[in-house]
Structure 1
Amino acid sequence: MWTAVIAVVGTLLGSVATHLFQRQTAERSAVLARAEQLRQERIAAYSAFAGALVDYRRGQNDRWHRAMEAPGSVAAEEARIDSYRLRSSAHQALIRVQLVCDDPQALDLAAAAFEVTNCMHEAPDETDRSQRSEQARETLSEFIGTAAPGVR
């Protein structure tokens, strides 16, 4: 009789231990899946932001050049309108970065890169425009360098 009791108790203990291990494994898998999903979302958001900001920077340079070459011309007006469209895309990408990034330094750099790019068309001369364009490129590179470790 004691043998049967020991067998039943052993079976129950084995079932409880198996259940606990399976639950712990499932919870660990869920945490890892969530972390990987967030990592993928960050990669997508950061790369979309970088691409949108590169396009916006190009548009701002184009806007400045068209305005300097022929102020008030059709080409200058088209470049200005295109820069608004590119700014909207870059701003949307910045918002997406703000939603998935938890690094305050990376967030500050993303906002700074957007703002520097946003002000490029206000440059009074070629030297200042070139400096602003380079500053925008460098600030974006700093953002990428700061954000990258979070997705590796």
Structure 2
Amino acid sequence: MLGTLLGSALTHLSQRRTVLRAERFTRSERLRQERIDAYCAYGGALANYRRGQMDYWFAMHDGRVLEGESIHQLRRETKRLRATAMEAMFRAELLTHSAEMGELGRQALKAVDRIPGAQSRNELSQVREASRSLIYEFIGASRRHIPGLNERE
């Protein structure tokens, strides 16, 4: 009888550890997936905002407005795209403990913000490249904060 009780207690402890390990794995995998989604969404939102800023710049400097649109509509669209990018940035920041990721994300957003301020095509080229580089840098850095992405298969 003592052996049965001891065996039962050991089985219970073993099962409890297995359940806790499975719960921990599920939580970490969910966080991993949420980080992938958040970082990708932010990178995509930045790319869309960047495209909108460039459309607005060309409309202002070259008079290139797509058919059926006005400068005011383009400006409203860039504001909407910026709000979307900020929302994505907040989500990404909530899912990381990395100050580096938050700083890179804000730098990329600020770089895109500078596009309409370019006074010439040469200056536009510089701010376009800076914003592109910072978006890529943010996405590249995000790999270090997602377990399993840096491991060789």
Q: TM (normalized to structure 2)?
A: 0.89
Question: What residue identity is the alignment partner of 2:133?
Answer: E
Unaligned runs of 5+ residues in structure 2 are none
Deviations 1:108-139 (A, max 9, x none): 10111011111211111111111111111100
Are 1:148 and 2:120 matched, yes or no?
no
Are 1:120 and 2:119 matched, yes or no?
no
More helix per residue: 1 or 2? 1
Which residue of 88, 113, 129 maps to 1:134?
Answer: 129
Deviations 1:26-45 (A, max 9, x none): 00100000000000100110
Q: What is the match of residue 52 of structure 2? A: 59
Question: What residue identity is the alignment partner of 1:142?
Answer: E
Question: What residue identity is the alignment partner of 1:132?
Answer: V
Question: What residue identity is the alignment partner of 1:129?
Answer: L
Shift in Å, 1:150: 2.1
> Is 2:93–2:101's contact at 8 Å kept on the other side of the alignment?
no
Deviations 1:10-69 (A, max 9, x none): 111101100111011100100000000000100110111111100000000011110112
Q: TM (normalized to structure 1)?
A: 0.89
Please say which structure displays the higher CA radius of gyration.
1
Are 1:13 and 2:6 matched, yes or no?
yes
> Is 1:123–1:129's contact at 8 Å kept on the other side of the alignment?
yes
* Separation in structure 2 between the aligned mates of residue 95 and residue 128 of structure 1, nearest angstrom: 29
Unaligned runs of 5+ residues in structure 1 are 1-7
Task: Tell me which stretches of 4 or more aligned residues in structure 1 moved more than 4 Å.
Answer: none
* Separation in structure 2 between the aligned mates of residue 81 and residue 115 of structure 1, nearest angstrom: 18
Secondary structure of the structure 2 residue equivalent to 1:139: helix
